[in-house]
A and B are shown apart, each in its own frame.
Chain A
């Protein structure tokens, strides 16, 4: 038991330190602009637990972040610098919506899995493209994932404005998906999506797959040194591609679950750059699945808490955007040149 506990402490130590540093920096900033920094910080961190409905919103926020962060974990463990979470998320969300609207006449027990699967597959395809280009042609994956993000956001903007646009609503939003396929709420927490359970289960499954299976070991070997892994008989290229497919699939699933569980329709601006924040969560957690769940929960707390803080004090909610920028900027900085953290 003791070694397991020590191992756990080792896993959470680094993300904890980064989070505490950010919070300290943020506190200095808040203290310089408001008379009640303690009140502002209490709301930023704890207002999420003031009521059951606040808590539900917190879980809803944590769900896509966790899933995207898990996707980032798979791709980074395979040595792919995947910054395409946003595009994969949008591909999943819009595809699930299109399937749900087009198949509205199908019975719910067919349509619901169909819509979720479609979203997952759409994300997976978007992850597959940079994976294949990287492994087969050595095309830089940062470029392809960045460019794909914008391409997919333009496609969804076209779909949301011209094809599945709810003409009675304001802004670029789609028609509602049939209410028969909405995800049921979490037991005991009304208005919280049961997608959160999926995210928690997948975090544990991801850890098992990456660290307790032959396949996971091969993915990590390919990520550490592709050519060495190939030379020792690991089908490294294929492992890298499938890790990218899983990464895209997880982000796509995040989009599909958001549509069926929270939004109930596709909105062009539903994501406050979940893709980048998910990447931040994963990197903060030193690309560890369980750690990513913890950092995603922390970030969901901050994102929602900022709104409560803005209501009760005069600190603008964009404080969190500013803190995120600082955190991402400082996140990978080291005092001494070190080997790759992964």
Chain B
């Protein structure tokens, strides 16, 4: 197995997961379990292909993907923060709406329920071949990756700086950790949550754009295939911290890249694909168990046995 091609495959597989994970992380820090990342990604991917097909240039397609995802996130914010809808139910509603809406447009407008495959589609900027050959190992792996891969890598330190080094990020985390305390400190809870959802929409839009615009250049109704949920799993596994979330995303991306190549060892691909979800459940369980053990008073421990 060629190490450079494996690295390139890991980068490619990890990018949508990493962006989805950051999208879920930024709302998790505002105490919102964002199950709608999947739907925002799907809608963004569709917008990218539809607008790219219509306009014939890459930047409008890219921007419309971001806009659609942010609009969906603000629809979710409106319903949950202004009309007090349940976050999980409304989030699942966003997913259903994205899936149903794209399918409806495919059937109604394009007359092809199977998907949308433009004959020609504009290319987004990719790292030119040979431009990074001076960098051993990593350089060739980056060649040919889309600009969204680079944005995703930059987004990790950016979210870290935003959450931990800016007053706005601190307010956002405060709103997520203790609403009452944050409110008495003068923080506007609803504004913070809406902001976190908007950032989440932006990141999910990037993830959808990467899926549609990097190599495939077409849209399928089940195109996201659970990547939004893998991202959610990565965030939970990473405990909502940017660096750990990124590490978990790359781990899951690595498993995904490996999954295609594991046929050699006769392991069914389904069991490899399952690892992120198992890791999320086990990771969460383990974290809760440690908290429980740490907080248990030593003297009355025996009564609980």
Contact = CB atoms under 8 A, between A and B. Distances in A.
B104 A316 contact: yes
A143 B236 contact: yes
Contacts of B7: none
Interface in A140-156: 140, 142-144, 146-148, 150-151, 154-155
Contacts of B280: 143, 147
A11 interface: no
A266 B106 CA distance: 29
B177 interface: no
B90 interface: yes
A321 B103 contact: yes
A318 to B, nearest CB: 4
Given A142-B33, A324-B96, A150 B229 contact: yes
Contacts of B35: 142, 146
A338 B84 contact: yes
Contacts of B92: 83, 276, 279, 328
Instruction: Kindly state the interface size class of chain B when it binds its partner.
Output: 35 or more
B285 A325 contact: no
Interface stretch (B115-123, B248-256, B265-273): B265-273
Interface stretch (A94-102, A131-139, A182-190, A208-216): A131-139
A200 B86 CA distance: 29
Contacts of A155: 270, 274
Interface residues of A, number: 47
Contacts of A201: none
Contacts of B96: 276, 321, 324-325, 328-329
A329 B90 CA distance: 4
Interface string B275-286: 001101100110
Given A147-B281, A330-B93, A318 B113 contact: yes
Interface in A308-342: 316-338
Interface of B is mostly: helix
A338 B236 CA distance: 30
B89 A142 contact: no
A155 B97 CA distance: 27
A338 B79 CA distance: 14
Contact of B284 (A143, A320, A328): A143
A307 B270 CA distance: 32
Nearest to A157: B270
Contact of A151 (B79, B95, B268, B278): B278
Given A147-B233, A283-B89, A332-B90, A154 B274 contact: yes
A328 B93 contact: yes
A334 B284 contact: no
Contacts of B289: 137
A333 B284 contact: no
B87 to A, nearest CB: 9
Contact of A322 (B90, B104, B273): B104
Contacts of B97: 322, 325-326, 328-329
A81 interface: yes
Interface in B60-118: 75, 79, 83-86, 88-90, 92-101, 103-104, 106-108, 113
A241 B183 CA distance: 36
Given A276-B92, A318-B113, A150 B85 contact: no
Contacts of B273: 154
Nearest to A319: B104
Contact of B103 (A33, A279, A318, A327): A318
Contact of B107 (A158, A162, A316, A325): A316
Interface of A is mostly: helix
Given A142-B88, A283-B89, A332-B90, A147 B288 contact: no
A162 B268 contact: yes
Contacts of A325: 93-101
B176 to A, nearest CB: 14
A318 B100 contact: yes
Nearest to A163: B268
B80 to A, nearest CB: 8
B292 interface: yes
A330 B85 contact: yes
Contacts of B157: none
A137 B285 contact: yes
A261 to B, nearest CB: 27
Contacts of B285: 133, 137, 139
A83 B277 contact: no
* B96, B107, B270, B271 — most chain A CB neighbours (10 Å): B96
Contacts of B281: 133, 139, 143-144, 147-148
A318 B85 CA distance: 25
Contacts of B84: 332-334, 336-338
Contacts of B128: none
A150 B276 CA distance: 10
B68 to A, nearest CB: 15
Contact of B104 (A142, A157, A158, A318): A318
Interface of A: 33, 81, 83, 133, 137-140, 142-144, 146-148, 150-151, 154-155, 157-158, 162, 276, 279, 283, 316-338
17 contacts: A83-B92, A133-B285, A140-B33, A143-B33, A144-B284, A150-B229, A154-B270, A318-B106, A318-B107, A321-B96, A325-B100, A325-B101, A327-B93, A328-B93, A331-B93, A332-B84, A333-B85
Given A143-B33, A321-B99, A321-B104, 13 more contacts: A139-B281, A140-B284, A143-B281, A143-B284, A148-B281, A150-B274, A154-B270, A316-B113, A324-B100, A325-B96, A325-B98, A331-B85, A331-B93
